[in-house]
Structure 1
């Protein structure tokens, strides 16, 4: 039997994915499943760009605000929740849209990663932590015979976890896709994207993003948790604790970090040749609507 259909809107930060997803969902009687590794946390709103109730325009959103700060949350946890949300949307006779920029979360759903139940081994982790990332990658290659690329060979956390699983006897299994996916990509030329990042950062600071992080700390969010979130939460924490001395320095350092992150996102997404990259030199909505209508076998809703 043919796989059920899923429309995916992916791309770099500050490119308008959320707005496009809402517009598509409104036209195709859809609901949205967020694929963002930080928006799953309650209270992380401005710093993650979580869509407000007004911005949702009546479209139901899922996988937002599902866990409290300080709680661990894995890509396997996300995949289970996303599968449940997508299947429930389909059971209601509606169209599911997966929207987000966390590449690993997107691929876990679109490619159907298979996860093992291997638990972290503190003793083994302590031994592995003493090795450099290059040494971990060499060990991974020796154990699996595989070569990684696109930055994955430098992803220390994933290398550590893979080696833990291999030591526990876990076997890497091939992915098992559950959905037939249309992948719509959003980004802008580098110079324009950088300008959009700077403008969005200024808006978020003006709207109270620094106060959001201060309130999270006051309400029990641990500094280690905030630092581990990266980008806005890490750099604002450093500003609040004096590591970054001025607001100007915060905006400069954080802005550059977000731009580096956007570049890494593009490296990740460009590895998938099935992405239809929308032309953002013009309004991308008509192109996205036409592609979605054709994919679903429905009349265009534009």
Structure 2
């Protein structure tokens, strides 16, 4: 897929390139991005919301220094688990990283599976820049606890019906964010939003596996995370003062272990819950990916898949967009 402003073909080719690698969790995006970066003189910009947090390494399957193989990575370990990090801030930081990489004459590779992050960058979302208001959020959370999420959702429907129509009442965090934006601007969140194509030409490549194989990889990774010390990692975060209800701790693998450490479940039950929740998240990602247009898909099980992917990327970087279909024979 080539994303560019609606200019002449010549002007579009003058735009700097951005390669995006997408796919469900455990499909191999990180390793592929690193391998590709080594082959095309690139740097990786993470689009995984879990990679942002320092000290959350095992449960997020964050690449180690050895696994990075010297490839510079951006937007990894940028905030503490107790800090807020908004979508607007991610988009700003991602655009800055992409610009810096391009200025050095290297190729930015956006890699990850967080749908909001990917879309915010590739579609150029206009995101209301309203900073978090802890006092307002606590007030709204108290309302949700005392009167129920539906009451909070009704408040949103009264000031921003379009947002209420797309945000379920059960997603209290997003309901509060929409109310927070209205509270500070006096305007509905949906009125402030929009899209402005970013100043890149974009190639999107996707990795895909049959569901059964993906689930096997997920389950194997969960077992490896437990063996690597996930329980101790979560215990250490709690002992360092990270609240168990901090947004970062809602990441899959952390909330389940918190429940175990608090005596609410057994370790085998927590592990099974991690597997189940990761399977569900992979299905959610797959549903989102099916809606993405112009993705060039590759199955990592097939012989020669990476060589075909590399040929496609090199064709794109050479500016031969008309030859992309012939280069992509997957």
> Above 0.5 in TM-score?
yes
Q: Which moved more, 1:85-94 or 1:74-83?
A: 74-83
CA shift for structure 1 position 181? 1.6
2:90 is the alignment partner of 1:78: yes
TM-score for the superposition, normalised by structure 1: 0.88
Runs of 5+ in structure 2 lacking a partner? 1-10, 321-326
CA 1:290 to 1:44, structure 2 compared with 1: closer, same or farther past 3 Å? Answer: same
Aligned residue among 239, 242, 253 for 1:232: 253
Which string of whole-angstrom CA distances, capped at 9 and with x for unpartnered residues, describes residues 48-87 of structure 1?
1110111111111111111112111111111111111110
Q: Hey, what does 1:215 align to over in structure 2?
A: 236
Which string of whole-angstrom CA distances, capped at 9 and with x for unpartnered residues, describes residues 174-197 of structure 1?
211222221111231111111111
TM-score for the superposition, normalised by structure 2: 0.81
Partner SS, residue 177 of structure 2: helix
Q: 1: distance between equivalents of 2:225 and 2:158?
A: 42
2:174 is the alignment partner of 1:158: yes
Partner SS, residue 44 of structure 1: coil
Q: Compute the RMSD of aligned alpha carbons.
A: 2.7
CA shift for structure 1 position 156? 4.1
CA shift for structure 1 position 294? 1.7
Q: Which moved more, 1:228-237 or 1:9-18?
A: 228-237
Contact 1:134–1:154 (CA under 8 A) maintained in structure 2: no
Q: 1: distance between equivalents of 2:162 and 2:39?
A: 47
Q: Following superposition of structure 1 onto structure 2, how do residues 1-302 of structure 1 map, counting pairs within 5 Å?
A: 1-2=11-12, 3-119=15-131, 120=133, 121-122=136-137, 125=140, 129=144, 130=147, 132=149, 136=153, 140=157, 143-145=160-162, 155-166=171-182, 168-170=186-188, 171-178=191-198, 179-225=200-246, 228-245=249-266, 247-283=267-303, 284-297=305-318
Q: 2: distance between equivalents of 1:58 and 1:140?
A: 50
CA shift for structure 1 position 259? 0.5
Q: 2: distance between equivalents of 1:7 and 1:142?
A: 39
Contact 1:226–1:234 (CA under 8 A) maintained in structure 2: no
